Structure 1
Amino acid sequence: MESTSETNQLLLPSLPRCWHYDVFLSFRGEDTRKSFTDHLFAALCRAGVHTFRDAEELRKGEDISTDLIKAIQESKISIIVFSKTYVSSRWCLEELVKILECKEKTNQVVLHVFYDVDPSQVRKQTGEFGEALAQHQQRFGTKKVSQWKTALTKVANFSGWDLLNDADGSECSKGGSVGLKCLQKQLLCNTLKTTRFDVNHVDEGISLIKLRLQSKRILIVVDDVNHESQIEALVGDRYWFGSGSTILITTRNVDLLNGLGKDCEKYNATVLSFMESLELFSWHTFKDPNPLEAFAELSKVIVSYARGLPLALTVLGSHFRSRSSIQHWRADFEKLRKIPHEDILNILKISYDALDVDTQRIFLDIACFFEGGYISIEEIVTILNACGFFAQSGIKTLIDRCLLRGKDYYMHDLVRDMGREIVRQESLMLYEKRSRLFSCDEVLDVLVNNKHFRCLEILRFDGCKQLKGSPNFTGAQNLKTLSFYGCSKLVELSQSIGDLERLVELNMSFCENLRALPNSICNLKSLKCLDLNYCSKIKKLPTDLGKLELLGVLNARFTSVSHVPFSCGSLRYLYYLTLGQSKDIWGYEYRSVEPISSSDANLCSLETLQAPYQSMQHLDLQMGSLSFLTFLDLSNSYFSTIPFNLSHLSQLKELVLDNCQNLQLIKDLPPNLDDLIARHCPLLENIQVVSGLHLLSVSIYKKPSSDSRSALLKFKPFGDS
């Protein structure tokens, strides 16, 4: 939220062409990036001030990057935020020296903010500032530190702001008193047409608002709220104001509105229609509601790209207004599709910067890999949980912040592009140093040139129809998710896959020509999810697969695997196991599982089991003791009657026995069973149920003749009235 007149003073009506930025922000990230600096940056952007704020990823190594030096040189104004650990960073000090140099050589305007620090400590380098510089002197020498001290003294004597007296050391966006007092005073003065109010603390401001405005019928717009303290300090209750008053609150975080009571009406801002978008774009580009004929078709393409977002249409319209030829338009638009316009990026990134680290990583994964609708929301949650994220919590936050649509996890194209640009900025030229690769050309460059992708955490080859072999994974020690989904020509995996010690999920679904898994896969000690669905040419699983101690999901449906390796009987975290040619079932959802304490119980955590009995018989399973089992499918088994007692499976809800050609009797059904399915069992004659069994749905399909039909029977067991 913007509250002070100082920001308005930074508005520059026109800048010489040599200035690329209006403002350069110099600050210590760990002190203020997620607090004061974040709020200051947002306020400057809203006021139309083109501001440079570096990404944390740029601050690597000893020497200040050329990108930062260039940004300082191309800025009209520098604002330095002195915080408690500012001088602990050599980067900050080098920025300071460069800023001072630009002031002396190019008359750059330099302003500063003392944020929760004593100005005298900055000017005289005492206290924590002095201690930090003393440590620097041991490492960098007297000459360098003397240069830094001189710069500190000079800059600290320039005009600026002192926020030392902020009662709780925070800013308006986090509930700090300085910004809130300014806003309270602004509300009182603007409403009562006076400048006489002094607000000494937030509580006093609340009392004054209640006292002076309780009889006023007013309209209040509280724009871009990002913390509940802003609502509490300004419009805490509708009864503070006169009858008929209207309060409008806009926010990026819907959670802030949930505590306002049932009589609060909430509306989601909708995007513009295509025709409305074209008109807005045309006004900003051509100063007319319709595009010029020569530019009409390309204007429609650009408008479609903006997807009804007014901010983007306004920025893009202004951008293309200065391009006079259709060739320039095409060239610029091609670039913008890969690298978003900086003004759009900066505004959208405000919402990203407000997220915690875990949710930021979830956002980037969805933006890079899962946006597009080809992966179900259940699979997205599964993959993210398998990577160690708190997926449900993070996704809810993204939905509440309007970064993601709840019903299908759709992400606006520009929001998606913003996420991908954040990843691109991690390393502009060296693709292999990025945390995520999502462009086919970039992935190909890394693989063909045999580059080490040690920074990658997720690598997906989904749908690469021409891929016949996997790359060498040596050096990719940070990889957590690896997917070859739908790589129908893939024949083999490199033995180097065993080097991926942090790999959590391996998805080989629909790799129809994959013949076998390398034995080295048994070295993946962190693997929790192995999906081989529809790998129809795989005939056996590695003998030592049971060494994957953390494995929770093993999906081998529609493979040619005839039995589960004996070693798998010791997988105490495995809760989802499928094997064979049985019916489709709902996808798995990955989560952490705590096994029961008994060290003797094989596969003790199983909840879903789908496999012919003979494929597991050698495991010496105590089937009747699988107390967590909720779904059991023993289709295509050879037994004449189920060779274990089902009655102890108290959690079992569904039992499937399709195509059991020798099955004659079903008995000892568990007490909470909801569905029994036994189709194509020609010898089945008897189903024994016990008193007290719940209402049961039974589907029997016995006769394979043309006039037969499935019988769906609902009945009550014997003994019920």
Structure 2
Amino acid sequence: MEKPVEFDYDVFLSFRGLDTRRDIADYLYTSLMKAGIQAYRDNEELPIGEEIAPKLRQAIKRSEILIPILSKEYAASPWCLMELVQMVECKENWGRKIMPIFYDVAPSEVRHQTGNYREAITLHINKRRRYDDETIQKWKEALSKVGTLRGWELKERGKGEFTEEVVRTLLIELKKNYLAVSEYLVEMDGHVDKIMEVIGEDTSETKIIGIHGMGGVGKTTLATIIYNKLSADFDGCCFLSNIRDTKIVILQEQLISDILRTKCGSITNINEGITQIKNRLCSKKVILVLDDVDQKTQLDALVGMGKCWLCRGSKVIIATRNKDVLKDVDLKHELSEMDFDHSLLLFSRHAFRRDCPPAEYVSLSKTAVEICSGLPLALEIIGSHLCGKDTNEWKNVLKNLETIPNGEVKRKLNISFEALETREQEIFLDVCCFLVGLDVRIVTYMWDSCKFSPECSLEVLKQRSLIKIAKGNRLWVHDQLRDLGREVVRERANLKPEKQSRVWDHEEAIDVLEIKEGRKKIEAIRLKFDRQFQDFIKKEKYVSLSNLRYLQVDWGALDENNVQHFPSTNSFQGNPMLLPKLRWLSWHNFPIFFKFTACSLKKLVILDLSRSKIIDEWEGWNHLKMAKNLKVLNLTGCKNLHRTPDFSAHKNLERLILEGCTKLVQVDRSIGELKQLVLLNLKGCWNLEKLPDEMEELEALTELLVDETSITNIPEWKRMEKLETLSADCCEDLSKCNLAGCSTSLLYLDLSRTGISELPFGNFGSLVELRLTWLNIRELPNSIGTMKNLRVLDISSTSLVELPSAIGMLEQLEEIDASYCGRLCGEIPTEIGNLSSLRIMRLSNTGISNIPKLPESMTGLYLHGNQHMRCPDLSNLLNLRDLKLELRYQTPFPPAPSLNWLRRLTKLEYLQLRCGGLVTLPSDFNLLLKLRKLELAGNNQDLPPRLPQNLSYFKIRGCSTSILNLSYLERLSELKVFDCEQLIEIEDLKRSKNLQSLCFERLPSLVKLPDLTGLNYLRRLCIEHCPKLVEVRGQLESLESLRLNFCESLERLPDPLSFKHIEELYIGVCGKLEEIQGLEVSENLNELSVWDLPLLEKLPDLTNAKELKVLRLGRCPRLVEIRGRLKSLETLFIRGCGSLRQFSDPSSFKKLRLLEIDKCEGLEEILESDEYRDLKKRRREQTARPEPAATNPGRQVDGDPERKPETRFDLGGDLPPGRLSPLPAR
């Protein structure tokens, strides 16, 4: 029979009409249709007068699930038995699912044909003239087979309860509630797990989950996945999409209809809908997704306030760009941008329908991914748009996308922008054009001065996921949103720069300054001056910029010692009304000779002269006294200042930044007049030894930063009662610190790396974070127990010998770091178990030997590097996510510790375990399904039969196995295998298609690696000290870095095509390697190092290696020639290549800065020729300044920060060169 290609029906009902039609069959059929399940029954679907048998056969064939209702009289009907035979054939031939209902009969009665079924079969046998033996045998076999199937038994159960169970099961089987999701999902599992943790902990609890993030980040997709995962377990399901643009009454109607599976009557107003929802749905356990919610009123109309409308056990998932609507939820889950690797994977699936780009598209794909900046929507749309196009079309599209966002992406993101009020839009556009990465606390002064209500507006922008405030209070906007904002500015001006409100492009800004009229709309502009644009310093260029409120000038490469290159230094003189609305002037590298007295400073609130060469006697100080409203003065990096100016004219100043003024020795006494000053930043003022006494007058000061200064004393400032932050890190001369005056206000205190030996503790009840690293203190006072608000305590690298029991009184403490306290020994106080808020504890590299019972709130525990650590029992730490544990023993035969408690840590994501061979992992260790990163190290450590299957990172050191089989780790992206002396073979890795980095080091017995072909994401391959390894097989089209060192038996490299995209290649001490193929096609090669290859005679032509900057060759005695034009070469090192006779084209050395040629007799003759006289001259001019030993750049030694770096070019005493110095600039 031909297999049906599609289904006409979801369910085929087979029943005996006499005893079921007006009973269970009718009831079930009606319930199925109400639930949206298309069911077939003969009297409903076949028109009168048609032949029944052929239509029935067709209906059975085209039904997805077959349900025979096996009643007492079912077998009495030959017709029913024929249907049953047909069902069994469909099951056996096409995999149809039969789900029988046993209606007042036992399955065994059907299976063995007893009772009514025996009587019915006997009657059929007696009618032999009508039914032959073969037919009757088929009936009996069909009954026997169906009688063994799992189904439902209906005896003494109510029809309502029974049909509800059947319908629910069928909805699961048919996936009727399932919604379509992209087949190209990437990086969703972690998000699903976090949400399911909250939803799934107790299914009887009502839960409301909020998913928030910027447009296009994947909120709807995540909500859909959760919905599909849960929908089968609920009485009703509803997914309301596009809530932002849909009338609420329509949404209310859909909600009621979907949950009750019946058409809802028309709802005339919102209040009526609320009443119906409360009354009709309150008894049903439902799962509800509200997608694209924009206003709290939408939630109130659909699910009410809190959970009072919902039946116990219901789940609600809200997806929104506006975080502000998520007030009363159990979890706020933010979706952020994807990282680069996952972005490339998602992009490749849409652009190429595969997991990685083809070789010729790798570079273009990376550019596209960078443009998309991790936004899934952009990755999908742009990837699909580029699918099937050639490389030239790609280049054109990507060039446009660098400045103009994709139209579809723009439309999606623009929804959020259009919903903003005018002031919010203005602030957003300012950020997009100029202010990304700047301190929001400074930026707000400009908006405040312009009456933009920045605090409220910024909160709206944050809640709507249009901006973020990153670490250090820095403004952050996604690149796609930034481009959207800039495009809005362009479109509002009809693409005419002079009509734009903001001009951020330097070339456009220069063009705008050339135009004399029509520039009044410009509010903000960015310029860069150098000799080419010196004429644009003249004041005439700025006269018509009457509405300019933001001016950013970057002083370029100008010869300030030659003033005649510039226009008159009086260019900005004589027009005091120039730029009358200027609020922010940012002029970095401001020249000392330049006079800027023409600008109106009346409304100036922010002045940034960072890295300028202004001095104490600069004439501009007097003019700046006109800036009466100045709020921020930033003089960062003004290294010629010895003392600050007089501040008496700036009584409104709130932020004074003098960071990096390394010659500053005096802060003017007038600082005491700055009654509104909230921030004083003196970080890095190395020569500043004393703070003025007048600082006591700074009553408003909240933040004082004196890190890396030479101050010796912080006196008691009794009037500084608002100080919240005091940071004095690296003030090595600071020995006295009296904080009594600000003890009740201080929130953050850092005295790390100072000379303080006695802690200035008193009543510090408000302190939240205390950092005391590298202090020579032996104990903490018991008064530390009074710090009831302390959350972070960092006492790492101190001389502490014990922790006080009073630490158990810090009821808000979340993190404690006592790592590298070498004198801290024995046990830690048991009172630490009382800290119910404690999340992270770091005790690595201490003398601690025993850990008491810790609070269940712990998420991170770090206990590595402790000499005497006993194996702790951590079985109660069910929330632990990170664990580093090292167990060492001094006695020769210690009792084998048990790690069986590991199986209970089901939330563990990262585990680093170092221990001796006696410690074994539990056999069910593989059940830790959330474990992503695993590091195991020990002396002949045994591996369990299987590791957790979701590992993405695995590092093993010192295992005892001879054959390593990790083929089941399909999500592995990084694998490191070190110091496994018995390891002979590593088996197939082809299923680990996500591998990006492989590292095998110090494996003395390793003979065989698997063929690496198919690892399309592999970028880094490192194999070192594997003396028996003969070959590295595979075609690695994405390989960027290859290191093959000390593999004395190696004869064969990977397929030459593996070098197409190589950037770094290091090959050394491979005595049997005769040739290196594939480099002739390496266009991205940046660094090539080859040494100790005694059989190597030639290198491939390197002409295509246009990016090659570093070439090192050492002790290759048979090497005869180096071919190619190396126009980017900056470092050339050749030593011990005595046979070298043919050299690179002379044009290769124009950019050369480091040169060493030694013990290359044949090469010396070539260098004497006129053709290479420039190279010879450069060699003579090489300076004698010693250079540090050349190690492999960027290399973190085998990924282990605890190993000391090795000198990679120590090739026997005469390498690396002792004198590699920059050549004189040409």
Indicate whether 1:444 and 2:444 are aligned: no
Q: Give the alignment's TM-score, normalised by structure 2.
A: 0.35
Map of 2:402 onto structure 1: 337
| Residues 1-24 of structure 1 deviation map (CA, whole Å, 9 limit, x = unaligned) | xxxxxxxxxxxxxxxxxxxxxxxx
Amino acid at match of 2:612: C
The CA deviation string for residues 397-432 of structure 1, in whole angstroms up to 9 with x for no partner, is 322222223324332221111111111112244211
> SS state of the match for residue 331, structure 2?
coil
Structure-1 separation of matches of 2:485 and 2:523: 16
**SS of alignment partner, residue 489 of structure 1:** coil
Q: Equivalent residue of 1:266, what SS?
A: strand
- Residue 405 of structure 1 corresponds to 468
**1:519 counterpart letter in structure 2:** T
Gaps of 5+ in 2: 1-214, 221-241, 561-568, 762-782, 784-1226
Of residues 198, 202, 205 in structure 1, which corresponds to 2:266?
A: 198
Out of 428, 442, 459, the residue aligned to residue 525 of structure 2 is 459
Per the alignment, residue 348 of structure 1 pairs with 413
Distance 1:250 1:632, change over 3 A: closer
Number of positions where the alignment pairs a residue of Structure 1 with one of Structure 2: 495
1:179 has 2:257 as partner:
no
Name the CA distance, whole Å, in 1 between partners of 2:544 and 2:507: 21
Whole-angstrom distance in 1 between the partners of 2:287 and 2:739 = 69
Which residue in the other structure is 2:325 paired with?
256
Amino acid at match of 2:433: C
Q: CA deviation digits over 1:244-287, x for unaligned, max 9?
A: 33222111111111233xxx222223445656545654555556
2:344 equivalent to 1:266 = no
Is the 2:655–2:680 contact (alpha carbons within 8 Å) kept by the matching residues of 1?
A: no
Contact 1:636-1:657 at 8 Å conserved across structures: no
d(CA) in 2 for partners of 1:336, 1:655: 43
Displacement of 1:235 in angstroms is 1.6
Partners of 2:322 and 2:655 in 1: CA distance: 37
2:608 to 499, 520, 531: 531
Alignment partners' CA distance in 2, 1:310 and 1:625: 49
The residue type paired with residue 244 of structure 1 is G
Residue type of the alignment partner of 2:605: K
What residue identity is the alignment partner of 1:207?
A: T
CA distance in 2, matches of 1:284, 1:666: 61
Aligned equivalents of 1:413, 1:224: Cα separation in 2: 22
Match of 1:233 in 2: 301
- Preserved contact between residue 466 and residue 489 of structure 1 (Cα < 8 Å): no
AA partner of residue 293 (structure 2):
V
Partner of 1:546: 625
Which residue type is aligned with residue 255 of structure 2? L
1:295-310 to 2 correspondences below 5 Å: 295=361, 297-310=363-376
1:507 to 586, 599, 614: 586
1:360 corresponds to which letter in structure 2?
A: Q
Q: Give the aligned partner of residue 370 of structure 1.
A: 435
Q: Which whole-Å CA distance do the structure 1 matches of 2:439 and 2:293 have between them?
A: 33
Query: Secondary structure of 1:224's partner?
Result: strand
Q: Which residue of 2 aligns with 1:325?
A: 390
1:107 maps to: none
C-alpha separation in 2, matches of 1:473 and 1:279: 49
> Secondary structure in 1 aligned to 2:756?
strand
CA distance in 1, matches of 2:294, 2:377: 19
Alignment partner of 2:380: what SS? helix
2:503 partner SS: coil
Distance 2:450 2:665 in 1: 27
Cα distance change, pair 627–436 in 1 and its aligned pair in 2 (3 A): closer
Q: CA RMSD in A?
A: 5.3
The separation in 2 between residues aligned to 1:312 and 1:625, in whole angstroms, is: 49
Shift of 1:649: 6.3
Distance 1:624 1:555, change over 3 A: closer
Cα 1:434–1:611 change in 2 (3 A) is farther
Which residue number corresponds to residue 92 of structure 1?
Answer: none
The alpha-carbon distance between structure 1 residues 690 and 209, as it changes in their structure 2 partners (threshold 3 A), is closer
Deviation at 1:528, TM superposition (A): 1.9
Aligned to 1:108: none
- Tell me the distance in 2 between the aligned counterparts of 1:215 and 1:252: 31
What does the per-residue CA deviation read over 1:452-492, in whole Å, with 9 as the maximum and x for residues that have no partner? 63222112236979764625211001111112245463865
Identity over aligned pairs, percent: 27
Match of 1:396 among 441, 452, 459: 459
1:315 aligned residue? 381
CA–CA distance in structure 2, aligned partners of residues 256 and 201 of structure 1? 22
Following the alignment from structure 2 to structure 1, what is the Cα–Cα distance between the partners of residues 699 and 419?
46
- Residues 714, 489 of structure 1: alpha-carbon distance in 2 compared, 3 angstrom cutoff: farther
Q: Which residue of 2 aligns with 1:520?
A: 598
Mapped pair 1:220 → 2:315: no
Q: What is the rounded CA distance, in whole Å, between the counterparts of 1:248 and 1:688 in structure 2?
A: 52
Residue-by-residue CA offset, 1:547-577 (whole Å, 9 max, x unaligned) = 33323334557376788888x7454434456
User: 1: CA distance between counterparts of 2:727 and 2:385?
Assistant: 65
The letter for the 1-side match of 2:429 is: L
* TM-score for both structures, normalised by structure 1: 0.56
Rounded Cα–Cα distance in structure 2 between residues aligned with 1:192 and 1:333: 50
| Residues 362-371 or 447-456, more deviating | 447-456
Q: Is the 8 A contact 1:387 1:481 kept in 2?
A: no
Using a 3 Å threshold, how does the CA distance of structure 1 residues 441 and 216 change in structure 2: closer, same or farther?
same
Structural mapping, 1:508-657, within 5 Å: 508-511=587-590, 513-521=591-599, 523-538=600-615, 539-540=617-618, 541=620, 543-555=622-634, 558=638, 569-576=648-655, 612=666
2:1144 counterpart residue number: none
Query: Are 2:738 and 2:760, in contact at CA under 8 Å, matched by a contact in 1?
Result: no
Counterpart of 2:593, as a letter, is R
Deviation at 1:650, TM superposition (A): 5.7
Mark the CA change 1:449 to 1:544 in structure 2 (over 3 Å): closer, same or farther.
closer
Q: 1:434-453 CA deviation, whole Å, 9 max, x = no partner?
A: 01112233223223566763
Which residue in the other structure is 2:1116 paired with? none
CA-CA distance at 1:317 after TM superposition: 3.5
Q: Residues of 2 paired with 1:298 and 1:576: CA distance?
A: 45
Q: 1:238 to 1:306 in 2, by over 3 A?
A: same
Deviations 1:188-247 (A, max 9, x none): 122223225232221221121122222223222211011111111112254534443322
CA distance, structure 1, for counterparts of residue 593 and residue 307 of structure 2: 69
Counterpart-to-counterpart distance in 2, 1:547 and 1:504: 13
Note the residue ranges of structure 1 that are not aligned, 5 or more in a row. Answer: 1-41, 48-170, 585-609, 701-708
* Contact 2:282–2:311 (8 Å) recurs in 1: yes
Write the letter of the residue equivalent to 1:415.
L
Task: Name the counterpart of 1:481.
Answer: 550
Which deviates the most, 296-305 or 552-561? Answer: 552-561
Structure 2 Cα separation of the partners of residues 416 and 659 of structure 1? 38
CA distance in 1, matches of 2:653, 2:630: 6
Deviations 1:285-323 (A, max 9, x none): 5566665665555344324422333322332244334x6
Bigger relative contact order, structure 1 or 2 (CA pairs below 8 A, ≥6 apart): 1
Deviations 1:384-409 (A, max 9, x none): 55555444443333222222233243
| Structure number having the greater helix percentage | 1
Distance 1:528 1:716, change over 3 A: closer
Q: Is the 8 A contact 2:641 2:661 kept in 1?
A: no
Q: Cα offset for 1:346?
A: 0.8
Report the counterpart of residue 246 of structure 1 in structure 2: 315
Map 1:161-176 → 2, pairs under 5 A = 173=244
Paired letter, 1:431: P
